[in-house]
Every structure is written in C-alpha cells, then in structure tokens.
Structure 1
Amino acid sequence: MTERPWLDTTLEPAERARRLVAAMSLEQKIAQLHGAMKTVDIYAMSNNATTAEEMDQLVAQIQIERHVAGLDELDIPRYRITNGPVGVGMGDGTPSPPATALPMSIGLAAGFDPELARQYGDVIGDEAAALGQHVLEGPGVCLHRLPTGGRNFEYYSEDPYLSGVMGVEVAKAIQAHDVVAMAKHYAVNDQEHERFRANVEIDENVLRELYLLPFEMLVKDADIAAVMSAYNRVRGTYATENRYLLHTILREQWGFTGYVQSDFWSCRSAAASLSAGLDHEMPDAKWLNEENVKAALHDTSLEIQTVDRALVRRFTQMFRFGHFEKPYAPREIDAARNGATSRRIGSQIAVLLKNDAGLLPLAADAGRILVVGQAKFVDEACLGGGGSSKVDPLYTVRPLDGLQDVLKSLGSGSTLSSVTVADDLSDLDSAVEAAGGADVVVVMAGLVATEGLDQPHANLLNQQDEMIARLLAANPNTVVVLKDGNPVLMPWIEQAPAVLEVWNQGAEDGHVVADLLFGVVNPSGKVPTTYPRSFEDTPFAGHEERYPGVDEGEGYPTMRYTEGLQMGYRWYQSQNIEPLFPFGFGLSYTTFELSGLQVSAPAGAPVEVSATVTNTGERAGAEVVQVYLSFPEEAQQPPRRLVGFQKVTVEPGTTQTVSIIIDPDATNHPLSVWDDRARDFVIRPGEYGIHVGTSSASTPLESRIAVAG
C-alpha cells in the first residue's frame, strides 16, 4: 500500500488524487487528460448534416469509444462515460448498450414534481451502474429560450427555477448510484444553430438571474461532480477557454470542487483551455495530446501545476465514488421494473391542453376507434431525441399494442383500427374517409427534434397541420395527441375539441397514451414552456440579432440576448401578449378551486405561503399550486417570477392544504436581483407581491409583503 498510497481508502479522495498525480510521469499525465477515441474531423462531418435523419446517421458513423484509457501500471481503471440525459445513451463501446428509453426531459419538467425527477434519475443511475459506466453526461439545464431549439427536448424548461429543481433531483439520484452526474452545457448553449462557431452576447444580470441559475443550484444543492463546457463562444471567447465562467464563477464564487469536461470536440486549445479551467477533453486528444501539451509547457504558456490541478480534480471524483475499487462487472438491467417506473412517470407528465364538452377521457366502450397519423407517431413508440443522447431501447410498446392492452384490461368491447398517413399526405383522402366512419378518432402527431439542428419553424413538420385540420373536419369526436419535444403552433386549435400533450414518451409510449385517453390515469402535467399563438408573438420575430445572429465582421454569427430578462412567460407578460397556452397551464379530468391564502413573512426569515386546494369534480386528481413573486418597480424585473410550487393529489370533494417556503437564502435567490456594482445578488427593499394560482396567467390568490433590503 505504501508503494501505491492512492489506493488507501482511509485517505480523503482529494488526498488520494494528489498522491496519485505526484507518482505519474508527464506522459502518463497527458494520457489521462483526454478520451481514447481516434480523432476525427467532427466539424466537417457536422456541416454535412442538414436533417434529423442525417444527424442520426452521423452519430452512428462516429463509432465513439467513450472512455479514458486505463493505466494498469498505476491501477487506474478504464474510465467509462455514457451520454444522457434522457436515459443511458451511447455508453462506452459501440454499439450503445440497450437501456430504458425514458420520456424526454421537457416532459419530466411538465410533471412539476421533484419526486418524479428523483425516480427518473434513479432509473438512469441504476442503469448506468448496471452497465459499468462511471459518468452520465446529464442533466442538461440550459433554458428554452428559443421555441424551436434543437435540444429543448433534453433540457427542462424556460424557467430557471423549475429547471434547477428538476436537475438537482435527477443529479442527486444519479450520484446515489456512485455514478458521476455532469451538468451541461455550460453555458448559454440555448440553440444549435452554428453551435461550433456562434457567439453569445448577454448582460450580466440576465446571465446570472436566468441562464446560470440552474447550474448554480446544481453545484450548491446537488454537489454535482462534473460540468460539461459548451461549444459556443460567450462574449467572444469559447466556453472551453472562458476563465470567467470556468474559474471565477464556477469555482471562486460557487465553490465547485468537481471537474470540467469539454463537450465532444468543443475543446479548441491546449494551454488556453487548461489555464481557463477546463480539466478534461473528450472524446479524443485533438488538443490535449503530447505534442501540444509538451510544447505549451516548454514555452511556459502552460504550467505543470495546471496539468496536475486538472487531473487531481477528476481523480478526486473517481475516488469519491469508489471507481478505483469497483471491478468492471456489468449486470442485467431490470427492464420490467424500470419500464414500469417510466410508464408511471410518463402518465404524470402529460398535459391536457383542451377538453371541450368533456370528450376525454374516452369511454372504454367507445365503439369504433380509429388511430390516424404518420408512421413515426402511429406505428412505433415515439422515442424522441435525435443525436448523441438517443437511447437504444430494451423494448418498446407501440401505440396500437398499448391501446389494445389497456382496452383489454378494462373489459372493453370497442374495436380498434389504424391508418398510417404518408409523410407527403398522398393518401390523406382515404384516411379522412375512414375517419368519417369511426365513432372516435385519435390523431397522433408530433415532432422529434435533434441535437445539431434547430427546427426550421415552429409548426409540425411534414404538413401535419393540414392532416389534423382535415381529420378534425371529418369527425367531431376527434382527439389530437401531440408527441413532441418542443412547443408547437396549432393553427387548427379552434377546431379541436380535445388536445393532449404527451411529449416524446419513450419505450412505454403505447401504454402511457392509452392510460391517459381512457382515464386510467388523470392528466396532471403543466406546460414547462410557453406555447405561442404565432411565431410573430415570440421575442425573435424581426430580431435577427437575437436569433439566428448577425455576422458583425468577425466571421461568425453573434446572438445578442437583447430581450434581457423578458424570456419565456416573462416576455409575454411584459409585452401584454396572450399566449396560446401559458407557462404552468394544464387541465384535468376533474376541477379544482384554490382558497384560503395565508402568508407569513417574519422579518429576515423565510416566507411561508399556504393555501387550500379543493377537488370540486368527481375524479381524484393532482393540481400544481404555483407561487409567483412580483418585485418593487426599482428592481426592474418582469411582472412575475416563479419562486415555488407543489403538486398535491386530492380526492373528489376533499381539501388539501399546501405550504410552500420561500427562503431568501436559497440557491435560486428568490427575492434577489443581480447587482453589477455589488457583484452579487441583493434584495431590494420595498413591497413585493405574492401571486398564487395554477399557471403563470391564473393567480387568483394575491397578497403583499414588505421586504427590507
């Protein structure tokens, strides 16, 4: 043991890491700074992908070996890294090991339930550990700034607090399995357009109050072990070389003690990146190779202490989670157990957007039920999420199979049939004819976004809007089921009697949708991102400088976040624009009434907000009580800020009391604004409004409190 003191488990992880690095040669150190994949020209390959299908083909071609090679002579194990954050996707080795395909992260956030997030992270952590992986690249906590963002499906929300709450629970659950969780993509990687080149210009208060806030919560509340640096430039400097982000904020101000890994091929230099605070390059040694690192050490643009620092940071986390002691022993995933969890989560995150005349839930004996839609949404389970986070599923439940299973369990005598509509709508007339002869029509439509590409527009692709409108006209008893990973425009909404947003559900698609349609489960989700009525209502109409950016003479597009704090629901409320569906909105098969608001606000202490929720309908259901704060005028804030929420299940005719604590010292800084002069969050003195309701646009209970600065 004295010859290898880093193997002494009685020592603290950081001390073990320091002793290991002290025993390493320079060549061994450099070999541990990067992944083991053969270097490829990812930039040229990415530029050739223009569709989701081509991006998937690109990912399949890369054949990634997602690991750091072990060093037997020092007992350093092979360090295995799997992608996330919507399940174990593309783990070490090719092809990817099969795992449970979970619902997309945007859907998880729609649950507005930290317990669901814990269960979600528990599945991911369990399966990553079962497959012998050491790192799970997730959760992703960038915000839904852009409604057409290509990776919104793997991020949570437009709201930083909701994103942070969900991300913290997912990360804690993953790390409970001794798997490193990795927050990504740090920072302001909110769009995929020109992601290898684009620059983001953003005011400091906007950066701190919105876009960095979920990362801060992950560092402080989840003790997250790793952070992934983004592709894009931030204020002219690549995120992987941005010392202000990687050192000043992350380590000096937040106290982060983990390590920073590059997004794949986001590293752009050796000395500059390591000196700024990047610790590890993946998936290869394009920059942190022997030639570059030794040259930088020779010309003193890099110091050996900086190399040592990077390695100590990563090895500390490996020792923290026992990675040196655990042999590589993959075990079988419990597909049935984790699939049941996925089904349970999926049923709690669907959002009932519209239900005129109570068309939903459908009666089990509804008669002739016709399911119509394009192949991706009708014939197969909608796994969602193109790109590197895509999960190779252990199994899937197709829509018709799931419907048949649930109808059988209900003892139904209904008949079930389906029509698949071609992507070019060449056979739409026959589908419309079939719809006219059915008792009930279920239209399944949607959108599968992908890493690397933003959507070309906010409408459903492949002329699905036209398909939906024609089918709605053919039968008044038509339900629209949306399976997507982004908010979409709905030009047919006035025609539709019922709309159910189920998201890209993953493996249990068929069962989840059937459970919801036939009322086995009562929908209780809330939209985590605003649905606009038109793209012209968004902050981006007529503002190219906001997106897709403008070349300001530097050769790359610069996106200026000139909408400031007015992002998401803050934008719509500030501009007095009524969205199609506001943030936090969601209906139920029952009805609720909020009353009895009480606010306790002792000076200098947390604020307690309580209210009662009464189920005034005939079914058990869950409601999400949401607390928003309005600030004094001098704070220069948008009209509302989400500062608390709680989901509660209520039986028919009964009442539940909800109590929500708003702690001024919490990591989400609920009562604070960023002050450039103080270089910190501060509380402005004055009168604050407490607004309690069931969405950002429906807060019938209100009170005011005086707050000292």
Structure 2
Amino acid sequence: MAEEFDVEATLAKLTLPQKIKLLAGLGWWHTQSIPEAGVPSVRMSDGPNGVRGTRFFNGVPSSCFPSSTGLGASFDIDLARQVGEALADECRAKSTHVLLAPTVNTQRSPLGGRSFESFSEDPHLNGTLAAAYINGLQSKGVAATIKHFVANDQEFQRFSISSDVSERALREIYLKPFQIAIKKADPWALMTCYNRVNGLHVSENPWLIDDILRKEWGFKGMIMSDWIGVYSTTESIKAGVDLEMPGPTVMRGKAVERALAGEKLLPSDIDERARKILELVQRAKASGIPFDGPEEGVDTPELRALLRRAASDATVLLKNDSALLPLGGPLTKIAVIGPNAKQSFTSGGGSARLLETYTVSPFEGIAAAARELGAELTYTVGATSHKYLPLLNGYIHYAGGKGALVEFWNAEPVEGWTTSLIGGPEPAWSTPTRGSECFLMDGVDDSKVNTACWIRWSTKFTPDESGDYEFGINMTGVGNLFVNGELVVDLFHDPPPGEGFFGLATADVHAVVKGLKAGEPVDVEVRMTNATFVVRGAPFETRGGVRLGAVRVVGGEEAVESAVKLAQEADVAIVIVGLNHEWESEGFDRPDMSLPGYTNKLVSAVLKANPKTVIVNQSGSPVEMPWIDEAHTVLQAFYGGNELGSGLADVLFGKVNPSGKLALTFPKRVEDNPSYPSYGSKGEAPGKILYNEGIYVGYRGYDKKSIAPLFPFGFGLSYTTFAYSSLETSPISPDGNFTVSFTVANTGNVDGREVAQVYIANPGASLPRAVRELRGFVKVALRAGESKRVAVELDREALGYFDERKKTWVAEKGTFEVLVGASSRDIKLAGEAKLEKTFAWTGL
C-alpha cells in the first residue's frame, strides 16, 4: 500500500542544512535522502527509448524501443501511449521513479547529433506524441522528465553556445512542443538544457523558467538540470532550478551556505526549491515503487509483440514504383547486402544507448521470413560504414559462456605483465561481460577493487568468414592488445589521445591479423592499467574503459564487386545501408548528410546489377540519396529497437502494410535546409548561433522558398491506395474551437492505415505566416474497400500566432484555409473556416 507523505510537514521539520542537501543529487542517478526525516532517495534513469538503469557497465538489460524519429513517423498517439506504459513497467522493474524522457527539442537541422531523440521538426506532432508518451508513463506512477528546455538543437559547444532566436520563433517553434505536452499531460519533472538562449544559460534564466514555465503555463513539477548543466549558485536557484544533477554538488552545498550568509539567497528561496523535490518524493512514495530496490528486466510475449509492432510502424515506404514490395511468390534466392544488415543498430548514440535484452538484426528478420518462403539467403557486406570497427559482440565466448571475462588487480601482478603474456597472481575480482565495449564508471565491486587498477579483458573470437582481420582498439589508460599470443597493438608507450569515452580515451589504433579461419576461435586479450589515467584526473570518477572491434579486410572495390555478383545471382536483392550510433550521437553533430565510405557506390552498383533491388536506409535523421532516381523501391527504417529486424521483415514481406509518414523533411542536399547558413560551427560570432530562419523551420522553410525536398514532411506510401472526400468544417466558435470532418476510403485490395493530416493557412494575416502548418492528424485503419468518416477537433492553437509587440497569442478575424492531405505537399481536400472576431490570450 502506498505510503502517505506530507510535504509541508516534512519541509517544516527539516533543518536548513538538510534542505540545502536536497538541492543536489546523490551520485549519477539518485536524489539525496534525509533518513531521519523520512525522506528517501529517488532513483532516475535514462532515457528516451529505454530504461538503462543505474549502470553503464554490465547493467540489467533493457527493452529498446525505436528512436523517437521512428516513433514520430508512426503518427500514432495510441502507440506512443503504449510505449510509455511499457517503459513504466521497466522502470518499476528497475525500482526507478523518474525516467529522463521524453526529448522534444525541435530538429532544426538534419545534422544535429541528437536529432533522432526527438519526435519531429513540427511542434504540434512533437508535443502531441510526447503528451501521449508521458500519459502512458505517468499512468503507472513513473515520473516523466520532459527535456531539454529549450532551443537545445546542436551539440557543437553545447555547454556554452547561445541560441539567439526571436521571441516569436521561440514561442511558435521551440517552446511549443513543451507547452503542448504540459497542457495535455502535466509531466512531473522537466530538465533544463546546457546552452544559453539569447546570451543567458537557461538554467539561470528566470524569464524562461519562472515567468513562462511556472507562472504563464502553470507548470507544477520539479525542475532539474541536465548533467553538469548548472553553472551558478544564486542565479540557478533564483531562476527556479530545483535540483542540480549529478552529485556530488559542484555549484550548491557550501556555496549555498555562503550565498545565504551574504543574503544573496534567503531561506525562503531554499524552501521553494526543496518543496518541489519533496513533492517528487511524495509522488514516488505514492507509486509504490521501492526505494533502493533491485533492478530487474522485463521480457514477456506481450512486450515483444509491442516492440515488433513499434519497429514496423517506425518504417516508412518511400518508393515502390515497380510494386516490388511486398515480397512473396516464387522466390528461390534472396541476396542481403550492406553494412547495416547483420548488425543491430537499435538506437543512436550517447545517453540513449543501452544494453538490450535481445536484438533481431535485419538479416535475422529477413532470414526468418525467407525460411517461411523456402528461399535461400546469401549475404555480403558490400561496403563498410563504421566510424570505429564493429564490436566483437555475438562472436566471442570464454570458458564461462558467451562474452568475455574482465579481471581486476589492485597492483601490477608482476613486472612487465601489461606488456607481455606472463602469468601472475589471482585477480582481486572478476566479472563476465557480454561485449567488447566496457565503460567502467560503475558495475565494479568497490570493496575489492581500487579506483587505480590493472585490468585484463579476455575472450575467444570466432570469425564467421575466413580472411585477414583488422582489429581496432582504444582505451582509457595504457595497455596492449594480444591476438593468439602475439602483441598486435601497443597502446602502452605514449598512446596518442582520442575522442572515445567522453574524450578520455586514446586514439583508436588498428592492426591486421592475417589468415583467420571461419569457425576457428582465436584468443584475444587486452592487458591495461588505468593508473596513469586516474592520476591525470577526469571530470568524473571512473576506472576507464576499453573498446575493441574487428572486421574482415576487404578492399572497397572488391567488396562492391562481391555484392554485384551476389545480386546478379539472386531473384531479389535487399541492400541495407545507413548510419549508426557512431555517426549520430550525443556529443557531436554530423559534418554532412552523406552516407559513409563506399555506401553510395555500392547502392548504385547493385541497382544496375539487379532490377529487383530494395534499398533500405537506416538512420535517425535525413541522409542524401544521390542514387534515388535509379532506385524504384526504397524504405526508411530509422533505429528500430530490439525488434528492428522483425519489424523491417514484416513490412518487406507484407505481414504489415506500412503506414509510417516522415516526421522530418528529407532535403535533397543539406544546403536546402532552412538552418544551413547558421548552424553548428557556422555562427556569426563566437559562441552564438543566430536562428535566422525564424519560424520557417523544417517544411515551413521549404514551403516558403518553394524548394522541392527529396521527400516532404508527412510523406509515406502504402501497399494500398486511399481516397479523400466530403470535407466539412464547422463554424469557428468565438474562443476558436471548430471541427474538420472528411471521409477516407481504402480504394485498394489490401487492408491498411492512413495518416490524414490537417493543415491550416492564414494568407490574410497581418504578419508573415507559414504557407501551411500542421494542426491536427488522425490515423485511420481501413479494410480493403472500406471508408470511414473522421473528425479532427481543433482549437485556438490552430489559428494563432505570437505577437511580440503585445506579448500575446493572437487569432485574427478572417478566412482560414483548411487543407487535408496525405503529406505537407500532397493536399487532397481544401476548404475554409471563418473567424468573426479577433481575440488574444496568454498561458496554456
């Protein structure tokens, strides 16, 4: 039974030092406890597409749902709510009270490193899906943390960059998804961003946090910083940031005491912040989720079915000119080609990544479908797309099972141990691990292993193809890589610096091992010490890490030729290319929209070799497709989570009729994007990025300049066809409410689902406005030959714009265009609605 917790009574009995203690976190994932006052420690976890739990190293495996751009492509409010509910179940299993999600930052540019984490470039779709996700999560007692408030749209200089943006654009584009989600879902927590807005860090900006968020919108939840995102003491507390994360505190604690002594802060300021943290504690207690409880996983048939459905619904059919899809009929041989085929790229990089409970790669999903058809499957990589060599995961084992063994010593076992394969005493502690990337900032027995230690990672690697293999390794510290007893890479003597592990690692150094045989295991061992690394210092405590990858050496031209041969011999070729978490990640932006390496050459070559070729691109955000005119069958897969391969195969082979629509405009080239002149490092002044496109973000910018995109916002095909008819619009009420109704018919031979989109235009406005703006949508399921009458309810938000002069939202009297379409560029029906009298408003 949920325990009663009286916030005001608890606040009254806390001492001032205890209140100050509450204002900063305990470690990376917890709030501080005050046991003597009955205040427990609340647990948090990343992130948008899964619940990682409290450990980076050897954490409890988690379900990974599709990236938010994939979920955005579903245009499915019910699915977003169900994903939120499933994430809540995982939070409860991991004794987690607060999920650090969803992300609703507007994708200003395709190059944004974290673009995949948000739902859409459009604020209405972004905020609406976020609200459904939040409602699902919080319906089971888990707090959502909407983030990163606000205009956190690039990774370049992310701690210091100033997003210089007009108030109108800020209100209509960047604040709007937060506003919608708060109005429709009331998230219990919010996270401020790293960056400045118009020169002032958001974490100390009272206009954004207090005036708009708390007073104007009435937000009642707890406000926390992003991790190491507090840069001041008095200013952040006065602005309204309740909790500094992570702990131990840097900007609070003793600094708050000093500010109180000088009356820069008053005890009432501390009470206001502490009260919000105690209100979160109250919700956590009411949830019944245990405090400091165990971390367990969730894996049920129902959850797997939802993951699979989400993966297929996150797939968008971009071209099917030859009706090649769905695949079926007399297929005897299918060639699967490409760097994204055999690896499961379930999510983008950074805080969104986690250890999946299981994965289904595209190859595995296609193989299962091919077996049902009795078709033979062949495979070749065709081209590599890795930034770092592929991890050994899935190809390694040790005496105790799959994976590797990691052993720790508190002193060098014997002199020279790190640089040769000599023996030594028993380790102080050891643990198995599933993979060849280990970030050792947690998950190690602190009672047995010192922070400075000596580490051995050992396994047997079994290649699936014969040939020469290139190995690549980086580490935090110094050490060496041995393969079959031979020193292969020396990172012990003056290793060059690199970018891995938050910039703490050595460079990634490669070496080739010749003559490995398919199916024959080889011994692989890394010996290293982090002692020099620990002495040097780091921004957080960690025992370092190691990342080891390997790939068969194949020349670029040779790999393409092998792919061409395989394609020529097959009835159908499926080419799976794209990006991965090494190209799209927190911490850096993409330099361009290109696919890596020989990818484009591979695609063009296979298209010429076999007219029956399906191209699948997997990325979290748009890429250039220079071969698009040659290709007649193209799918966009996004990062599909655990069941990526199954969901993709369901679409390819017709078990699921695709219904996804792009939640992002795909431009032909990055220069066409509205933000291109001022993004990333292209600021007009040091430390500033001018949002010079104003409100014309995403499709709004392409429409305003009449630029044809590669694929427009809201676009996606089906295996059936749909017709729209009979548009009706009710009169607009004095406060802006009206209904748009129309009929959608399935005019094909296959059951399907259509996303009908309602856009509003205001050509007679006194200020410039977008050509059209998405203001509503509905996903309609229709059997073959069936038609349905649907209605979309709209309110004043569909009519208004923000007037900077009056500091209010305004809906101007006049005639509005009502446009119903299958995409932003495919308008099927047009009508009008008339507002008789201008009115204005503030707040939600």
The TM-score, its normalising length taken from structure 2, stands at 0.76
CA distance in 1, matches of 2:592, 2:53: 29
In 2, Cα distance between equivalents of 1:180 and 1:132: 12
2:590 pairs with one of 437, 449, 455: 455
> Is the counterpart of residue 583 in structure 1 residue 583 in structure 2?
no
Partner of 1:420: 381
Q: Distance in 2 between matches of 1:583 and 1:8?
A: 48
Is 2:160 aligned against 1:25?
no
SS in 2 for 1:394: coil
The alpha-carbon distance between structure 1 residues 367 and 324, as it changes in their structure 2 partners (threshold 3 A), is: closer
Name structure 1 gaps, 5 residues minimum.
1-6, 38-64
CA spacing shift, 1:203–1:455, aligned 2, 3 Å:
same
Question: Partner of 1:317: helix, strand, or coil?
Answer: helix
SS at structure 2 position matched to 1:378: coil
Task: Report how far residue 455 of structure 1 moved.
Answer: 0.7
Could you tell me whether the CA contact under 8 Å between 2:103 and 2:147 is conserved in 1?
yes
The runs of at least 4 aligned residues of structure 1 exceeding 6 Å deviation read: none
The counterpart of 2:577, out of the listed 428, 445, 463, is: 445
Residues in 2 aligned to 1:90 and 1:321: alpha-carbon distance in whole angstroms: 16
Higher helix share: 1
In 2, are the aligned partners of 1:364 and 1:414 still within 8 Å (CA)?
Answer: no
Whether contact under 8 Å (1:77, 1:324) holds in the other structure is no
CA distance in 1, matches of 2:9, 2:692: 49
Alignment of 1:628 with 2:589, yes or no, is no
C-alpha offsets along residues 667-696 of structure 1, whole Å, 9 cap, x if unaligned? Answer: xx2111112233221111111100111100
Query: How far did 1:89 drift?
Result: 2.4
The aligned counterpart of 2:776 is 644
- Aligned partner of 2:740 in structure 1 is 609
Structure 2 SS opposite 1:388: helix
Q: Secondary structure at the match of 2:43?
A: strand
**Aligned twin of 1:703:** 831
Separation in structure 2 between the aligned mates of residue 499 and residue 521 of structure 1, nearest angstrom: 16
User: Among 345, 349, 357, which residue is 2:310 paired with?
Assistant: 345
User: How many Å apart are 1:286 and its aligned residue?
Assistant: 4.0
Q: Is 2:255 the partner of 1:292?
A: yes
2:704 to 574, 580, 596: 574
Deviation at 1:551, TM superposition (A): 5.9
Which residue matches 1:97? 60
Aligned to 2:86: 123
Residues 279/355 of structure 1: CA separation in 2 closer, same or farther (3 Å cut): same
- Aligned partner of 1:432 in structure 2 is 564
Counterpart of 2:551 in structure 1 is none
Task: Compute the displacement of 1:91 (Å).
Answer: 3.2
- Report the CA distance between 1:129 and its aligned residue: 1.2
Is residue 333 of structure 2 the alignment partner of residue 368 of structure 1?
yes
CA distance in 2, matches of 1:17, 1:93: 33
Give the 3 Å change call, closer, same or farther, for CA 238–205 of structure 1 in structure 2: same
Displacement of 1:324: 8.4
Which is worse superposed, 394-403 or 128-137?
A: 394-403
Give the Å deviation of 1:316: 0.8
In the other structure, the counterpart of 1:550 is: 683
**SS at structure 2 position matched to 1:637:** coil
Query: Do 2:622 and 2:666's aligned partners in 1 also have CA atoms closer than 8 Å?
Result: yes
Q: Which amino acid aligns with 1:465?
A: N
Count of equivalent residues = 658
Q: C-alpha deviations, 1:123-162, integer Å up to 9, x for none?
A: 1111011110011001100111111111111101000000
Identity of matched residues, %: 37
Summarize deviations over 1:418-471 as a string: whole Å, max 9, x none.
112352735222122211211110000111210111111012223322221122
Structure 1 partner of 2:611: 476
The offset of 1:601, in angstroms, is 1.5
Give the corresponding residue for 2:320. 355
Instruction: Please give the per-residue CA displacement for 1:338-370, whole angstroms capped at 9, x wherever unaligned.
Output: 221111122122110000110111115322101
Cα RMSD over matched residues?
Answer: 1.8
Q: Indicate the residue corresponding to 1:392 in structure 2.
A: 355
Partner of 1:311: 274
* Distance in 2, Cα, partners of 1:347 & 1:550: 39
SS in 2 for 1:522: coil
Identify the structure with the greater strand proportion.
2
Q: Relative to structure 2, which stretch is displaced further, 650-659 or 285-294?
A: 285-294
Match of residue 162, structure 1, among 125, 137, 153: 125
Residues 612 and 76 of structure 1: is their aligned pair in 2 closer, same or farther, counting only changes over 3 Å?
same
Q: Relative to structure 1, is the Cα distance of residues 93 and 463 closer, same or farther in structure 2, using a 3 angstrom cutoff?
A: closer
Could you tell me whether the CA contact under 8 Å between 1:549 and 1:557 is conserved in 2?
no
Aligned to 1:153, which of 98, 116, 131?
116
**Would you say the 8 A contact 2:758–2:820 is kept in 1?**
yes
* 1:659 and 2:791 correspond: yes
Counterpart of 1:181?
144
- The answer to whether structure 1 residue 528 and structure 2 residue 677 are counterparts is no
Name the structure 1 match of 2:640: 505
Residue identity in the other structure for 2:578: G
Q: 1:324 to 1:125 in 2, by over 3 A?
A: closer
State the alpha-carbon separation in 1 of the partners of residues 48 and 568 from structure 2: 42
Gaps of 5+ in 2: 385-554, 839-844
In the TM superposition, 1:237-248 aligns within 5 A as: 237-248=200-211
Corresponding letter in the other structure for 1:681: W
Query: Which residue number in structure 2 is paired with residue 53 of structure 1?
Result: none
Which whole-Å deviations, capped at 9, do the CAs of 1:644-674 have from their partners, x for residues lacking one?
100001111121111111122xxxx211111
Distance 1:548 1:685, change over 3 A: farther
Q: Is the Cα contact below 8 Å between 1:403 and 1:511 reproduced in 2?
A: yes
Instruction: Work out whether residues 155 and 680 of structure 2, in 8 Å CA contact, stay in contact via their aligned partners in 1.
Output: no
The residue aligned with 1:49 is: none
The equivalent residue for 2:403 is none
Counterpart of 2:654 (choices 513, 519, 524) is 519
Other-structure match for 1:60: none
Q: Deviations over 1:259-297 (max 9, x none)?
A: 110000111011111111111011123434432111111
Distance 1:348 1:422, change over 3 A: closer
